[in-house]
């Protein structure tokens, strides 16, 4: 999941570069930038959502598995609510700073997920070998 978040951070980083091109040339950027953003972001997201869902369903007690999966999906609501609030900054921030903030937030989440992996590895994937 951490590596997926780091890949997903490349999407806003691409748009940050495109915003720099717009600022430098005062022109428009190609549709390829949007396609690149979508491809990179979706590859990263595809490595986060199913892995997290599998983690929640495997780590949850069997009686609470459905509840825990619902709680997992709740993060999408909370995250998208935050993204909606963050989108309000587009009017007040330069394009490069706005997309750089997005890339930094996603990359920070990736780093935190990797750190949690090392801290909680024994709890989530106990060693079953004698």
Q: Report pLDDT for 28.
A: 85
- Contact by Cβ (8 Å): 56, 68: yes
Note the pLDDT tens digit of each residue in 52-81.
898 888 888 889 889 989 999 998 899 899
> How sure is the predictor about 99, in pLDDT bands with cuts at 50, 70 and 90?
very high
pTM attached to this predicted model: 0.80
pLDDT score, position 9: 94
In the prediction, which pLDDT does 108 show? 95
* DSSP state letters, 80-92: HHHHHHHHGGGGT
- Contact assessment for residue 89 and residue 98, using Cβ atoms and an 8 Å cutoff: yes
Which two three-digit tokens encode residue 69?
Answer: 């999966």
Average pLDDT over residues 96-115: 93
Q: How many CB atoms lie within 10 A of CB 73?
A: 13
Region 40-47: what's the mean pLDDT? 94
Q: pLDDT tens, 15-27? A: 999 988 888 888 8
Q: What is the pLDDT of the chain when averaged over all its residues?
A: 88
């Amino acid at each position: 999941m951490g590596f997926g978040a780091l890949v997903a951070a490349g999407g806003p980083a691409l748009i940050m570069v495109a915003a720099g091109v717009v600022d430098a040339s005062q022109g428009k950027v190609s549709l390829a930038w949007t396609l690149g953003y979508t491809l990179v972001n979706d590859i990263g997201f595809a490595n986060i959502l199913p892995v997290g869902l599998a983690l929640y369903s495997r780590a949850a007690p069997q009686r609470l598995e459905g509840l825990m999966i619902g709680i997992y999906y709740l993060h999408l609501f909370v995250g998208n609510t935050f993204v909606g609030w963050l989108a309000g900054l587009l009017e007040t921030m330069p394009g490069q700073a706005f997309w750089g903030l997005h890339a930094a937030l996603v990359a920070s989440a990736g780093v935190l997920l990797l750190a949690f992996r090392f801290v909680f590895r024994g709890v989530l994937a106990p060693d079953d070998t004698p």
